[in-house]
């Protein structure tokens, strides 16, 4: 187990119920706001999973743990990722906060004993999505974006309406919103760019900006 996982989990005892353990672990580290967010993401992910036919337990596991590495201070994320042997992209070196999905997958594996590769993959790409995203990736991505605090999610009404049409339409709604604001991003993660370009073929066939 990497040192950063050992030191942050040493004084926490798991019950074995993720719906209890994940928010309790976040609150234990003073992250009540993230715990509240994660509870919203889990509720949303369960609903979307049922609608689109994704395994509900897988969606809930991904949802409960997708932000769990936020217990790690942002300034320690880069060194933690290096110590865990993660392959780092230049964008992630520039903006290490973008590593929190990959680091959450490490906590999930090492402390919460999650083994399903699809669940771990969905956690890794929940911030950016990726080209060739699985249905589970898209369920978690949409549930996460719909559960951001309202002041950071001006797109949420449009995205919720898009979800009534289809999951892909909702995912596109967020990708397009983010892409229009890419000039304000510290960096454009290549997974986000690839996800946008791929979905633009379906939803914005004319525009290629
Ligand atoms: Fe996140
Ligand atoms: Fe999140």
> What are the pLDDT tens digits along the chain (209 aa)?
999 999 999 999 999 999 999 999 999 999 999 999 999 999 999 999 999 999 999 999 999 999 999 999 999 999 999 999 999 999 999 999 999 999 999 999 999 999 999 999 999 999 999 999 999 999 999 999 999 998 889 999 999 999 999 999 999 999 999 999 999 988 999 999 999 999 999 998 655 55
CA 75 to ligand 1 centroid distance, Å = 16
| Closest ligand relative to 63 C-alpha | 2
CA 67 to ligand 2 centroid distance, Å = 5
Task: Taking each helix axis as running N to C, give the angle between helix 56-65 and helix 18-28, from 0 to 180 degrees, rounded to the nearest 10.
Answer: 10
| Closest ligand relative to 128 C-alpha | 1
CATH numeric code, 3-203: 1.10.3210.10
| Closest ligand relative to 125 C-alpha | 1
CA 56 to ligand 2 centroid distance, Å = 18
CA 62 to ligand 2 centroid distance, Å = 10
Question: Which chain residues have CB less than 5 Å from ligand 1, an ion?
Answer: 67
| Closest ligand relative to 123 C-alpha | 1
- For 123-164, the DSSP string reads HHTTTT--TT--HHHHHHHHHHHTTS-GGG-TTHHHHHHHHH
Contact 108, 114 (CB under 8 A): yes
For the entire predicted model, the pTM comes to 0.96
Contact 145, 159 (CB under 8 A): yes
Contact 141, 133 (CB under 8 A): yes
């Amino acid at each position: 187990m990497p040192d950063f996982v050992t030191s942050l989990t040493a004084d926490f005892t798991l019950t074995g119920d993720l719906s209890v353990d994940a928010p309790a672990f976040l609150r234990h580290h003073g992250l009540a706001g993230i715990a509240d967010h994660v509870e919203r993401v889990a509720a949303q992910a369960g609903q979307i999973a049922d609608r689109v036919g994704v395994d509900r337990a897988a969606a809930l596991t991904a949802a409960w743990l997708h932000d769990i590495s936020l217990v790690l201070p942002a300034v320690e994320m880069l060194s933690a990722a290096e110590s865990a042997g993660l392959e780092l992209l230049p964008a992630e070196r520039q903006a290490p906060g973008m590593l929190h999905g990959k680091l959450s997958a490490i906590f999930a594996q090492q402390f919460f004993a999650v083994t399903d590769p699809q669940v771990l993959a969905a956690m890794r790409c929940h911030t950016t999505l990726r080209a060739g995203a699985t249905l589970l990736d898209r369920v978690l991505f949409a549930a996460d974006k719909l559960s951001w605090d309202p002041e950071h999610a001006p797109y949420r009404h449009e995205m919720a309406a898009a979800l009534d049409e289809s999951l892909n339409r909702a995912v596109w709604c967020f990708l397009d919103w983010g892409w229009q604001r890419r000039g304000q991003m510290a960096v454009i993660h290549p997974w986000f760019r690839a996800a946008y370009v791929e979905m633009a073929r379906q939803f914005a066939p004319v525009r290629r900006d």
